[in-house]
Amino acid sequence: MTSATSHAPISPEQITQLTDSRQWAQPTPAPISSARFKQSVVDFQVDELLDIELSGAGEHLWLLIKKSGMNTSFVADQLAKWAKIPGRDVGYSGLKDRQAVTTQWFSLRIPKGELPELSFDEFITANLNSETESVQVLKQDWHSKKLNRGTHKANKFVIRLTDIELNPKVAATTAEADEVLTLISKAGVPNYFGEQRFGRQGNNIVSALEWFEQGTINGRKPHPKKSRDLQSLLLSSARSAIFNQIVSARVEQDNWDKALEGDVFNLNGSGSVFTVEQLDQEIQQRLDSGDIHPTAPLWGIKNDKVSGAAKALEQQVVAQYPVLQRLAQGLEKKELKTMRRATRLPVSDLSWTWPDEQSLLLQFTLPTGTFATSVLANLVTDLIQ
């Protein structure tokens, strides 16, 4: 794998180091050596939590849809075909996995309020390809506004792990594994971006470097409009790789959930960030209670909020990895403004049961934009899909 001719080739080992979750530091050793994940769609369930009161009137039909074996984009396309409207008039808040059972809201702009005689359930059933694919409309109502990306605040997960092998050095029994789960429920986990952000074998990072340094993606110059989604994905992947390595360094230094001098803090449950002139007991108490979290950068220009020891750590991590240096330079050339993301991920309403010693059923809620695999990485060393 290579990027620009003016740079050294990128080795598979360099990409793996940045994109394999087993390479990222965790606060405690995982109590489970290996487990199987997503062996069937019912092993991974996600319910979108959307706190909006629908008005019952307007030109947007909102549908709560339960689906399995298909991703969000496919269902959105089918909704557009069913209602005979442009794809841009179908709205949804977040992307949900194909290999899962999920519930999420969609909105359809139908100005005249005239619906097809055939229900959506009946329409899409004719287009399903396998027994694992299913769609069901659970609720529907009219509203005055389109559903936009990022509207929902959280996702509720129900995850089943099977063929579990405990790590005897950490947890010889399920009761000892329970201790780690209890710690996660209280302390949260490092807020890593999941491996899926980087594509197969980390190819998004390779493509991002090619785009930054050569102006091409997979050997072709990207179309300014048609490739917007791909370009956005590559920018996000580059930022995620840098963010994860900074968080990993803070985990190794045991300050991912503690304050460093010069830190930028995030108010829990919001996008609000702030700095303080001096670290004091009040800040420490707010950190301990989970009211605020330290942050790391989503890299770009104007990274001027962070200072002191926190800034030095961020710069040191980027300088340590040649690939990160190149990604950072590329992001700066694209003139993206630096944003901040919490280094700690609270895990709400965590509960679990052991149907037997080789299977574990987990339930928990996470804020939108975070990854269930970040929770699983604290539990399982080798997660087999």
| pLDDT over 60 at 1, yes or no | no
- Averaged pLDDT score across all residues of the chain: 93
In a domain, 225, yes or no: yes
Domain identity same for 339 and 202: yes
CB 26 within 8 A of CB 32: no
pLDDT digits (tens, 9 = 90+) for 39-49: 998 999 999 99
Quick one: pLDDT at residue 258?
96
In a domain, 199, yes or no: yes
| pLDDT over 50 at 4, yes or no | no
- Residue-number span of the structural domain to which 133 is assigned: 52-152
CB 159 within 8 A of CB 365: no
Quick one: pLDDT at residue 324?
97
In a domain, 160, yes or no: no
Quick one: pLDDT at residue 130?
72
Taking each helix axis as running N to C, give the angle between helix 228-252 and helix 203-214, from 0 to 180 degrees, rounded to the nearest 10: 120
Domain identity same for 248 and 311: yes
Domain identity same for 203 and 270: yes
**What would the mean pLDDT of 262-268 be, rounded to a whole number?**
97
In a domain, 3, yes or no: no
In a domain, 63, yes or no: yes
Domain identity same for 274 and 328: yes
pLDDT digits (tens, 9 = 90+) for 133-179: 889 999 999 999 999 998 999 999 999 999 999 999 999 999 999 99
Domain identity same for 139 and 202: no
Domain identity same for 219 and 331: yes
Q: Which of 105, 133, 152 is the last residue of a domain?
A: 152
**What would the mean pLDDT of 89-112 be, rounded to a whole number?**
93
Query: What is the CATH number for 88?
Result: 3.30.2350.20
Annotated catalytic residues are 97
In a domain, 360, yes or no: no
Query: What is the CATH number for 323?
Result: 3.30.2340.10
Quick one: pLDDT at residue 101?
94
Domain identity same for 244 and 340: yes
pLDDT digits (tens, 9 = 90+) for 212-235: 999 999 999 998 888 888 999 999
Domain identity same for 98 and 227: no
Percent of the chain with pLDDT over 90: 86
Quick one: pLDDT at residue 6?
61
In a domain, 117, yes or no: yes
pTM: 0.92
pLDDT digits (tens, 9 = 90+) for 296-307: 999 999 999 999
In a domain, 336, yes or no: yes
Q: Which of 311, 329, 345 is the last residue of a domain?
A: 345
Domain identity same for 120 and 212: no
Q: Which of 90, 125, 152 is the last residue of a domain?
A: 152
The number of folded domains in the chain is 2
Residue 173 is which amino acid? T
Domain identity same for 249 and 337: yes
Domain identity same for 142 and 252: no
Quick one: pLDDT at residue 226?
82
Domain identity same for 146 and 236: no
Burial class (CB in 10 A: 0-12, 13-18, 19+), 267: middle
| pLDDT over 90 at 347, yes or no | yes
